[in-house]
Structure 1
Amino acid sequence: MTIDDEESEEPNEELVSRIIKVTPELAEIYLSKATVNRRLNAGQVRTLMETIIRGEWKLTHQGIAFDSNGTLLDGQHRLHAIIEANTPVEMVVFEGLSKDVFSVLDTGKRRSAADTLFSTGEKYLSQLSSTIRHVILFNTMPNLPWRGAQARVSNDQILAAYNEDPDRYRESVSIGRELSKHLFASWTAVSTAVFLTTEAAPAGEIEAWISGLKSGAGLDSHDARLALREVPKDIQKRSSKRKMNMRDQMAIYIKAWNAWVDPEKAGELRLHRLKKTEKMPMPIKLPFEFK
């Protein structure tokens, strides 16, 4: 593809599109053709770059667009991502667009992770996608804040994780929905913690933990399930310093789980939010002989 540096005296009004493997070098050339463009979002560039590096880039109708004079109208974030990833990708390149279309480019609704999971036929799509996202964050960056560009999880990552274990994700969201009615934590926090702790338990052994949390019946005063049930629902209102976030809620749940699985290692159970230097607890694996 050739783009003339000088403005054409007779602009070509015919729209032409073609699939081109855009290399980092070609991306630099394309970006040099930008005159007016939207402000660069570093977080979006990083997200696209990581998508390319992970091999998740897919050829779609969204690509690069030039007007009839060869000026770049759309695609600067994709081009910067190619440069940052130092990896060529295929995309559709459009030439001959009217200059007037710039104001309406990329104004549609962004596809959410829940939208991506719609074809699975699952219920509670928002909770399911949020649970999967937080499982991924727990496994990849447990001791870092789950916010900002560093905590972005792509729709492809969420769908791939779902496909690896759909039954357990579905069950965790269902259990989390019920347990959150009896606990202080949010539906998402409980669903995520359920998934992570059932991952550490043999099949069938988790029922005692779940049933105890649901009913609280017959639990002695030292039972970690009772302690978790008694964490006040208004705990977030009791501190003016910092709102309890998802990591805090999950940490409290996992601390209780660990104390239930291995009371000797738990010591005196203190269910509180994470301190600044405290690491996220890892679920203790429940042994097969557990009773």
Structure 2
Amino acid sequence: MSNCTMLKTPGYDEPKTLAALEDLFGTSAGPSAHIISLHPRLASRLLRRNTANRNLRPTTVADYVRDIQADTWPINGEAIKLDRNGNVLDGQHRLHAIVKADRAVTTFIIGGLPSEAQSTMDSGMRRTTADALTLSHESNATTVAAVLRRVWCWEQGDRKFTRRIGPTTTESRALLNEHPEIRRAAEIALRTRAAFPHIPPSALGTAYYLFNAIDPAQAAWFFQRVGDGAELPTGHPILALRSRVTSDRAKEGRIDWSRHLSYLVIAWNATRGHRNLARLVLRPDSPVPTPK
């Protein structure tokens, strides 16, 4: 890399900025890196040179837009990459997000790359929220990340959990900072799962988070009994829950995630209402009930 500079023009002058980029990258003997305040209009201009790239993923663009609009988009070393002719090799999702968010983003931009370098870009595995939490030495990182995703979806109003959208890592961290009790939810989920291994930890943790907000003492008791089924009278909703999950798993092998959460909510609501349940009944494709 021949240099790394901050590319600036007085105020925002799109033609001058574009001309500066073309001059730097077009005359460079090799690749060069610069930091630029990339405005939406310039991002739109660069997208005109996005002529050979992979299919656009709208959900990824939407994720980036939310982070940009929340002012949580950091300079992390990821760059918009252009070839020697100014064609976009990498960064189309970020460019589209800048346009949609209608906000400038300070970012690295690398030009002068050989066009054949595109075949080796983005070939690594993307870091997940669980990876980020692990790097931050978060206990039970995988379960915490899974619960964060489901809680975020719940708060977005997705009660069927069928949307192909989830929180970004930045949004997950913000949610964890706002609701640190999710860590406790993950602990309870793993403990319950160890005793009764038929419900995924993410469903147990999400349910605990929701129930704990209603009645912490009863939530603690409820999950102890989900785990061990001890001292429950015939017809108790938790016994119906344990029986239905065990039966469904034996017949189907795998149960939809939302059905797990629905079963937990139905049993919780019946327990809170002091109602017996001989069997849990759930209409197909129905949203998850609201805990009471």
TM range (shorter): 0.7 to 0.9
Distance 1:219 1:6 in 2: 74
Alignment of 1:280 onto 2:273: no
What is residue 69 of structure 2 aligned with on the other side? Answer: 53
Name the TM-score, length of structure 1 as normaliser. 0.82
Give, as a single letter, the amino acid of the residue that structure 1 aligns with 2:256: N
* 1:258 corresponds to which of 257, 260, 269: 269
1:176–1:191 contact (8 Å) kept in structure 2: yes
In the TM superposition, residue 3 of structure 1 has moved relative to its aligned partner by 4.4
Between Structure 1 and Structure 2, which shows a larger proportion of helix residues? 2
State the shift of 1:152 in Å.
2.1
Distance of aligned partners of 1:36 and 1:251 in 2 relative to their CA distance in 1, 3 Å threshold: same
TM-score (structure 2 length as normaliser): 0.82
Who is 1:224 aligned against?
Answer: 237
| Conserved? CA contact 2:226–2:242, under 8 Å | yes
Q: Which amino acid aligns with 2:273?
A: D
- Computed over aligned residues only, the root mean square deviation of the Cα atoms, in angstroms, reads 2.8
Partner of 2:108: 92
User: Could you tell me whether the CA contact under 8 Å between 2:133 and 2:145 is conserved in 1?
Assistant: yes
3-state SS of 1:13 partner:
coil
Structure 2 residue 201 is matched with structure 1 residue 201: no
Quote the offset at 1:209 in angstroms.
2.0
> Is the Cα contact below 8 Å between 2:189 and 2:204 reproduced in 1?
yes
Matched, 1:190 2:199: no
Paired residue secondary structure (1:231): helix
Change (3 A) 1:262 1:6: closer
| Residues paired across the two proteins, number | 274
SS at match of 2:89: strand
Partner of 2:246, secondary structure, is coil
Cα distance in structure 2, aligned partners of 1:19 and 1:145: 39
- For structure 2, the residue ranges without an aligned partner over 5 or more in a row are 1-16
1:213 to 223, 226, 236: 226
1:231/1:84 CA distance change after superposition, 3 Å: same
Q: Is the 8 A contact 1:137 1:146 kept in 2?
A: no
CA distance change for structure 1 residues 195 and 145 in 2, over 3 Å: closer, same or farther?
closer
Q: Which residue of 2 aligns with 1:247?
A: 258
Preserved CA contact (<8 Å) 1:251 1:280:
yes
Counterpart AA for 1:200: I
Query: Could you tell me how far apart the structure 1 residues matched to 2:281 and 2:221 are?
Result: 24
CA distance in 1, matches of 2:203, 2:84: 51
* Cα distance between partner residues in 2 of 1:7 and 1:174: 56
Q: Contact (CA 8 Å) 1:64, 1:93: kept in 2 or not?
A: yes
CA contact (8 A) 1:185 1:233 kept: no
Partner residue of 2:192?
Answer: 179
Does residue 238 (structure 1) correspond to residue 254 (structure 2)? The answer is no
69 and 217 in structure 1: CA distance in 2 versus 1, 3 angstrom threshold: closer
Q: Is the 8 A contact 1:142 1:280 kept in 2?
A: no
Indicate how the Cα distance of structure 1 residues 183 and 22 shifts in structure 2: closer, same or farther if over 3 A, else same.
same
Q: 2:54 & 2:204 partners in 1: Cα distance?
A: 40
How many angstroms apart in 1 are the aligned matches of 2:144 and 2:122?
27
* CA shift in 2, pair 1:34/1:3, >3 Å: farther
Inter-partner Cα distance in structure 2 for 1:46 and 1:147? 13
Structure 1 pair 177–115 and aligned structure 2 pair: CA distance change class (3 A): same
Contact 1:256 1:269 in 2 (8 A): no
**Alignment partner, residue 176 of structure 2:** 162
2:85 is equivalent to residue 69 of structure 1: yes
Q: 1:33 to 1:213 in 2, by over 3 A?
A: closer
In structure 2, the CA distance between the partners of 1:215 and 1:179, relative to structure 1 (3 Å rule), is same
How do residues 131-150 of structure 1 correspond to structure 2 at under 5 angstroms? Answer: 131-148=147-164
CA distance in 1, matches of 2:110, 2:95: 14
Q: 1:70 to 1:199 in 2, by over 3 A?
A: same
Structure 1: tracts of 5 or more residues without a match: 285-291
Question: Residue 289 of structure 1 corresponds to which residue in structure 2?
Answer: none
